[in-house]
Chains A and B, each alone.
Chain A
């Protein structure tokens, strides 16, 4: 019986706007945005740490606001602009945040980096010159186990300075 339940899933056709590209997909309705990005769209830059909305690793932007892609169903974001880390650079030119993270060693293992970059991007769009405490507040939902956060704060400040 179990196998029939598993196979008999409802599928929907969705048009997703990811990094400015519109893609039509046939998806099981219960599949999370995180799974669809990684498994159906090969956008493996978005990582996962818990799949329960606890670690911030899978953060993407929906209309410029950070969302945990492990808690979002694609059907909720149809028609909205989704940005993943693959959409940050302008062609081969890194986004100033990416550039600053690279220069200052803000990415060690790099696994939390895509999510943190996107949270920071959203912050700088609303608050171009954030204080160090404002950066802490904005990134508090993103865990990192390598850096102790210091170099990340430095990198966001550096990028903010360069962008304004």
Chain B
């Protein structure tokens, strides 16, 4: 930034720093790597959704020429898992399998075909158990045995119940109370790149290159399962072919290739097939939701009671956090003075669910937005108007202690309302428009596991006129490397291309918790600013001494520091201070409220989005054609507007896929459509034009005021689609995906005089514990909201 406050590179639509590598095919993804003498690994997986393993015979497999090693669960018995409270996975299972696809044995061979043949030659004897395939079945007593040996009763994994403020009193004040039930079907990330990992073991040290979103968590899991100190393991993030949350857990294949490399003394690679990727999953939880809200005659919310039931699949994964997330952010968009949340996650014999873009929040957002829409219709108030009357205000605390700082909800709404002409829309049968809003975290306020380290650290080295920035952050395509380079360049008066980057390598970069929860720009960005400002201070001091002037008079811009080029200044500073290194770190403020479970939901800042969808819905066929989508996103400040638009458009696309077609569904434990053709996702022909508006509220704590961009804009799309379908045809589709069959069925029901609706009929009886009562934060905290508790 220059002395007159103008930015040099922040806010400019600059090309990504890795753009040329990406468009020339020269970026090296994990499966592109082939070290000399690499062995290929295939994994034998369970064909049964639920079974005990009685025996595993690998002798025939071992006899096949070209097979170098065969391992089973006995070789990797230590359990791991992303959350400290749910260490329930094994890289290879030798006692019991819990979903079709659970890994049982692995082979390293000289080529992939031999490895696959060896997997076929392994014989496993099973005692097949009755599978548990739905939320209802999981809530009932198991026919054979429970899926996991923790949690309960029956196949319940986790129960939570929290109450903020006096909910009964809130309902007593209401003029109108409404209840609704909604269902959000599960779906998967479908990254274009299949998961892939390649490991070597030399001189007692493991090196793993992997397609992961978080090198640090893989590093931790490897250390635990392989029983090696972290200093003997190096994890490097290869060029990344798409994550969306699906590569955030440590995976069995990552551990397996390391173990096989240790046993064979050769590099070992494993790339999952597309079918295996569908079963690896960790995607969107199917969530059944019940919501009851009290409102005044004017539509002001007096109390809300929200219940969720999550179909978690066979393992814990991020599930405990996902469960809390289904209740955490309702209050961050609407002012809810009294709020009760009851959540439940169950185990079923399906691939484990975990975090997908929006982690645990698109489902309740869908329910909440449609529920308020229905309340507005009950009261005869315009839905947009009713929602606006309840918007949270900037710099407030929510009833569940979430700290809201900058909030552009009103401006976002104004932008999409004006651009779309929603208020004056063409009201003809078959045409509809729908509106919805959302909010998302700019990084989770607490780490996955308890530790005192900063959430992100950046180191900067300057020598011979060159700048290198080191950070553990992983660029998964969203452009986090470009953001880091842009921030360092801004502070040092350079261009992003002048900054060399070393990222996502546990040997050479300091800690960063990785690419999830939209945390990188906010956290690594703040760490980069701190490190870069220290470096800038040294350069300025050396130049000021040489110029015999005050440091304040030294301008840093355009590749120059005062009277000197950057290169000359760096030589002066190196002469004055010795080796030029600096470091910065970021730890989010302690924002969690005074209750158990308060660690999920707090974030140093929330993004806000508003969306309008315009579509045609055919009453005869049920087919929906989306004409146009308007989306406004409060990103705080766009470090690079080109990248922000890319994140917003990508989020809208993914939200539209979830709204209209994407579905992770199973029949007898088998995925119904584990292929890219049958698992429907939007193509070029399905995607409408998207009009994007970037709203800048300049957050007090974000780097240059920036907040998140990559997840929040997904959330309003599914409810806006359903609201538009109602606008077009007068029927409510209370579950996604909104398929033609559901629309036709809802119309048929209406014609028969039944409720004009398709959706879940009821919410099951769940043994939630008595809610923990939490006092809302003191009102005076509202004004002091930018300070931490």
A residues at B contact (CB < 8 Å):
2-3, 6-7, 38-39, 43-52, 54-55, 57, 84-86, 88-89, 94, 98-99, 101-105, 107-114, 117, 135-137, 139-153
Contacts and interface: CB of A to CB of B under 8 A. Distances in A.
B547 interface: no
B645 A105 contact: yes
6 contacts: A38-B32, A101-B19, A105-B16, A137-B685, A140-B683, A146-B646
Most buried by A among B240, B242, B273, B690: B242
B454 interface: no
A143 B683 contact: yes
Contact of B192 (A46, A55, A101, A141): A55
B639 to A, nearest CB: 13
Interface in B474-490: 476-479
B771 interface: no
B488 to A, nearest CB: 20
B476 A109 contact: yes
A23 B751 CA distance: 68
Nearest to B681: A143
B638 to A, nearest CB: 12
Contacts of B18: 110
A101 to B, nearest CB: 5
Nearest to A110: B22
A146 B357 CA distance: 11
Most buried by B among A38, A110, A117, A150: A110
Nearest 7 interchain pairs by C-beta? A45-B25, A109-B477, A110-B22, A148-B653, A111-B241, A102-B19, A148-B649
Most buried by A among B273, B643, B653: B653
A89 B24 contact: yes
Dominant SS among interface residues on chain A? loop
B22 A113 contact: yes
Interface residues of B, number: 64
Nearest to B641: A105
A46 B685 contact: no
A155 to B, nearest CB: 9
Given A47-B241, A143-B676, A98 B23 contact: yes
Contacts of A7: 65
A109 to B, nearest CB: 3
Given A105-B646, A136-B684, 17 more contacts: A45-B26, A46-B25, A47-B193, A51-B274, A94-B24, A105-B15, A105-B643, A111-B191, A113-B23, A135-B684, A142-B684, A145-B190, A145-B191, A147-B646, A149-B649, A149-B687, A151-B645
Given A49-B676, A109-B192, A85 B24 contact: yes
B15 A110 contact: no
Contacts of A149: 649, 653, 684, 687
B630 to A, nearest CB: 13
B654 interface: yes
B681 A110 contact: no
A152 B114 CA distance: 40
A139 B20 contact: no
B242 A145 contact: yes
A151 B16 CA distance: 13
Nearest to B644: A105
Contacts of A153: 684
B192 A3 contact: no
B30 to A, nearest CB: 11
A6 B29 contact: no
Dominant SS among interface residues on chain B? loop
A97 B282 CA distance: 35
Most buried by B among A48, A117, A148: A148
A2 B242 contact: no
Contacts of A112: 192
Most buried by A among B22, B273, B477: B22
B53 interface: no
B419 to A, nearest CB: 16
A114 B16 CA distance: 17
Contacts of B242: 109, 111, 145-146
Interface in B6-49: 13, 15-16, 18-29, 31-32, 34
A151 B27 CA distance: 20
Interface in B100-132: 113-114, 117, 120-121
Given A49-B676, A105-B646, A6 B117 contact: yes
Contacts of B479: 105, 108
B194 interface: yes
A36 B710 CA distance: 37
Nearest to A103: B15
Most buried by A among B16, B32, B190, B650: B650
B684 A110 contact: no
Interface in B40-65: 64-65
B677 interface: yes
Contacts of B690: 148, 150
Interface in B115-166: 117, 120-121
B677 A148 contact: no
B477 A52 contact: no
Contacts of B685: 136-137, 140
A108 B21 CA distance: 11
B652 interface: yes
Nearest to B65: A3
Contacts of A57: 192
B87 interface: no
B474 to A, nearest CB: 11
Contacts of A99: 23
B114 A3 contact: yes
A52 B274 contact: yes
Nearest to A5: B117
Nearest to A109: B477
B642 interface: yes
Most buried by A among B18, B25, B120, B643: B25
A128 to B, nearest CB: 19
B265 interface: no
A106 to B, nearest CB: 8
A107 B193 contact: no
Given A145-B191, A147-B650, A109 B240 contact: yes
